Amino acid sequence: MRYDRVKFTLNGAVRDVAAPPAARLIDVLREECGLTGTKEGCGEGECGACTVLVDGEPVCSCIVPVAQVAGAEVTTIEGLNGEHPLQKLFMDEVGAQCGICTPGMIMAALSLGPAPSLDDVRTALAGNLCRCTGYSAIYRAVMKWRGMPIPETAGAT
Amino acid sequence: MAAVGKSVARKDGIGKATGGAKYADDLTFPGMLFGRTIRSTIPRGRVRSVKLDFDTAGFTIVDHRDVPAKNAVDLMSQDQPFLVETEVRHMAEPILLLAHEDKEKLSAARVEIEYDEEAPLFDPEQSTQVFKAIDIVKGDVAAALAKADVIVEGTYRTGHQEHIYIEPNGVIAVPEDGGIAIYGSVQCPFYVIKALRCMLGSAHPNVRVIQTETGGGFGGKEEYPSIIAGHAVLLALKSGRPVKIIYDRVEDMVATTKRHPAIVRHRTGLTRDGKLVAMDVDVLLDGGAYVTLSPTVLSRGCIHAAGPYSCDDTRIQGRAVFTNTPPNGAFRGFGAPQTEFAVEVHMDRIAEQLGIDPVELRRINALRPGDRTATGQTLRDDCSAHMVLEEAVKRTDFTRKRREYRGTNRTIGLSLFYHGAGFTGAGERNLKSKARLELTLTGVRIATGSTEIGQGTRTMHAQIVTDALAIPYESVEVAQPDTSRVADSGPTVASRTCMVVGKILEECALEMKEKLGGLTPAEYYARSGGLTVERMYEPPDWIQWDDNTYLGDAYATYGWGCDVVELEVDPDTYEVRPLRITAVQEFGRPIHPALARGQIEGGTAQGMGYALLERVVMRDGAMANSTLTNYTIPTTLDMPEVDVVMLENPYPGGPFGAKGLGELPMDGPAPAVVNALRHMGLDVREIPATPELIAACGTIA
């Protein structure tokens, strides 16, 4: 199999990996780079568990060939260094239950603008499946992060 | 500072939100191989030959002859082999196992299997092979039917449902000094131990199972992981190396268990003014190709089949039968969502035929303290059917909306439901669950086999121990379940982890408090060294149950719920748009309100998927839509707002009054949706109610 060198920025640092050009970005992240925070739920871009940011845009890393991120900036959940307020809010608001969708959910939520409506949040997260929460607690975490009022039925306990 | 009743910081830490939490696929071990399962491609027949059509260098290859002791998964029955010997009973049945260090080579390996095919049986109604039959008789249903003013009959059907935990199944078997360790995504580590002991026999005594962070279960990781663990262990024993088996989504959907499809028939006698006088119910579950847990799923399904109603003359007959489809198994609700769907839709059909308001019909018949259930159990004060019904009706302005929506494309419906907490009947007594508390230098450690699978086990158990022991919440730690060092607290199933295991922990904590005699953990340690308290569960002494007649106290207590669903239907496409769900649920007392609310919101979403979206298409005995592209679960755009109301009615036998909660929310949404559709004139009696199905059930006025 042919291995190419692919150079990209990963969580702020330059990475130069050898991989088959069609290798999935998720495999390069998890296996070559040892960053297992990006999760695989379906392998076909349907569940969003593997969401990472490429040049600031959320993408499903299970359907992105690594060659496509050459020269790009890739940010994974590890790139937030555990310091992003959304991370703590996901735990406090129980937006994370089993947690397997959480890294992808957080990365997708980062694309939201400063004052999202509940519908904006719904739309931004429409490609991310969660089987535990029914999503309401995720909305509470995201709206709180953005300082937006929480609708009564998605309200705090 | 009391912890119980407060949404305290969770014991999970921040790992789930940073990506630091380690799930099975995140672990690697030196020299690790990857495992792959070669499966049957026919639903029924016999294996004639297996041909390895690849260069086998570097491969570990295992078939049934490599099983050291018994080639049978030790569950309720020992009928299911780890690996096919000759007889194939369903599609995707495991036949051969391969392992290799290179994933590419592993997936490229070709195996040719020839079969002598036999005619498969797919229709449960044609099946004569009965895994379990149940006959619950209360009073004389035939005589009561003969005297009834009105008789209403109906047949209701529910489909398969796939769990779709977002983390597919996976385990790693790791040879270690004198034995083998299994790391995996499992709900019930001690079930895996039981199955492996049977498979391995006395030759390999040192087996332990460590639960890794688990990305959802919902019953789907109750019994099936025993099979994957067996496969990984066989490959690890043969290769002498760690072996990781992680299913991809398609394999997980095609090969693993699902919710049992059901056909439920009701024949109900009533007085003209709506009093139930006779309920004759017949429940048929499609068990699939092996017994798995079908007898107990049928049991819970039958016990809940008459709904939360009082009726002196009731008969419930049930059968779980064989078909040549992949075995069905545990799924949140465990038989009750099927039978409660049927009875709740039937109640609205009765209301329609009698010209009685569906709320009024339920007011007349819903169980009250002192009433007797279908199994003859006299309910105690913790029965809340009327409380949840009245709260839901009032909160949603149900009666007014019901009237005003008539003739529009908007509608509203409700369901009343209940769910028994803990194992059925004598189950908890037979289980003899244990929990352990260990003193540490700074506090205590909880050591049980109860798994955290998202629902909040760690946190909720720590809260109970905190308050019973009167120590700071921060000083309570929770051990990772490792069967070699925690007590067997029974499986993490059946809405029992809070009510049952939490109760044992409360008693452990009280005993430890007495032994500490007022000393802090550090002081006690300095004087006397360590301290461990282990206790066994004692169910309430009043529980009487007869496993032959199915009469008696089926459950120590029940949770109660009333769901109201408002929705719109597109008059041209019959697409349903849920607008709002109100979930009023009583489950004793919430230990952690935010986690409890999460159970209700999440269970309600699974129930909405069950009602409207989640259709498993079986073709030639295999799931034909085995991807998330064509098997769809609710997304953010499908789920409406859920208004959660948690009512309290403490159960004296639970820790701090708590009952079980996990499964209750699954029972209500589907009948509430279908009852709303009925109010529009759409005679739906089956789920999932896809647009195609609804269109065939009538036109929108």
Q: Which of B19, B215, B605 sits opposite A36 (nearest CB)?
A: B19
List the helix and strand counts (H, then E) for chain A.
5, 5
A44: nearest CB among B593, B627, B639: B627
The whole-angstrom distance between A112's CA and the closest CA on chain B is: 15
pLDDT tens-digit series, residues B239-298: 999 999 999 999 999 999 999 999 999 999 999 999 999 999 999 999 999 999 999 999
Question: For the segment A23-49, what is each residue's pLDDT rounded down to a tens digit?
Answer: 999 999 999 999 999 999 999 999 999
Closest in A136, A151, A157 to B593, CB measured: A157
Is the per-residue pLDDT at A153 higher than 80? Answer: no
* B212 Cα to chain A: minimum distance (Å): 11
* CATH 3.40.50.10260 for domain A4-78: no
Q: Are B375 and B550 in contact (CB under 8 A)?
A: yes
CA–CA distance, A41 with B606 (Å, rounded to integer): 17
Q: Say if residue A2's pLDDT is above 90.
A: no
pLDDT for B405-436, tens place per residue? 999 999 999 999 999 999 999 999 999 999 99
CATH code for the domain defined by B15-21+427-536: 3.30.365.10
Rounded CA separation B316/A137 (Å): 39
Q: What is the CATH number of domain B31-119+164-255?
A: 3.30.365.10
Same fold, B31-119+164-255 and B262-425+550-695: yes
**pLDDT (tens digit per residue) in B124-149:** 999 999 999 999 999 999 999 999 99
Q: Is the ipTM of this complex over 0.95?
A: yes
Could you tell me where in chain A the CATH 3.10.20.30 domains are found? 4-78
DSSP letters for B178-225: TEEEEEE--S-HHHHHHHHHHHHGGG---EEEEEPB-S--TTTTTSTH
Is the pLDDT reported for residue B35 higher than 50? yes
Question: Does the beta-carbon distance from A99 to B595 stay under 8 Å?
Answer: no
The residue assigned the tokens 């005619």 is B119
Taking an 8 Å cut-off on Cβ atoms, the answer to whether A103 and B19 are in contact is yes
Q: How far is CA B567 from the centre of its chain?
A: 27
SS3 per residue for B534-599? EEECCCCCCCCEECCCCEECCCCCEEEEEEEEEEEECCCCCCEEEEEEEEEEECCCCCCHHHHHHH
pLDDT score for B646: 98
Architecture of domain B262-425+550-695: 2-Layer Sandwich (3.30)
Rg, Å, chain B Cα set: 25
What is the C-alpha radius of gyration for chain A, rounded to an integer number of angstroms?
16
Which of the four pLDDT bands, split at 50, 70 and 90, describes residue B683?
A: very high
Q: Do B14 and A88 touch (CB under 8 A)?
A: yes
Matching residue, tokens 């992949």: B326
End-to-end alpha carbon distance in chain B: 58
Instruction: Give the Cα separation of B249 and B267 in Å (integer).
Output: 41
Asked whether the predicted pLDDT for residue B398 surpasses 70, the reply is: yes
* pLDDT above 70: residue B624: yes
Contact call for A100 and B593, based on CB within 8 A? no
Where, residue-wise, is CATH 1.10.150.120 in chain A?
A: 80-149
pLDDT at B293: 98
Cβ contact, residue pair A47, B166, below 8 Å:
yes
Tell me the pLDDT band of A155, cut-offs 50, 70 and 90.
very low
CB contact under 8 A, B602 and A98: no
Interface of B with A in 415-454 (CB under 8 A): 453-454
pLDDT in tens, B568-594: 999 999 999 999 999 999 999 999 999
Per-residue pLDDT at B699: 87
Tokens representing B579? 């607008």
What percent of chain B lies above the pLDDT cut of 70? 100
% residues pLDDT > 90 (chain B): 98
Do residue A102 and residue B16 have CB atoms under 8 angstroms apart?
A: yes
Residues 6+ apart with CB under 8 A from A81: none
- Does the structure show a pLDDT above 60 at B448? yes
Going by C-alpha positions, the residue among B108, B214, B232, B115 that lies closest to residue B169 is: B214
The span from the CA of B640 to the CA of B553, in Å, is 37
Q: Name the CATH superfamily for A80-149.
A: [2Fe-2S]-binding domain (1.10.150.120)
Q: How far apart are CA B140 and CA A133, in angstroms?
A: 44
- Shortest CA distance from B643: residue in chain A: A153
Interface list for B 455-474 with A (CB within 8 A): 455-456
pLDDT in tens, A82-123: 999 999 999 999 999 999 999 999 999 999 999 999 999 999
Q: Judge: B16–A134 Cβ closer than 8 Å, yes or no.
A: no
Distance, in Å, from the CA atom of B672 to the CA atom of B566, rounded to the nearest integer, reads 9
Interval B496-539: pLDDT, tens: 999 999 999 999 999 999 999 999 998 999 999 999 999 999 99
CB contact under 8 A, B163 and A131: yes
pLDDT exceeds 80 at position A152 = no
B459 contact partners, CB below 8 Å, separation of at least 6 = B8, B10, B11, B12, B592, B595
**Cβ-Cβ contacts under 8 Å, B604 against chain A:** 134
Q: Where are the domains of chain B?
A: 15-21+427-536, 31-119+164-255, 262-425+550-695
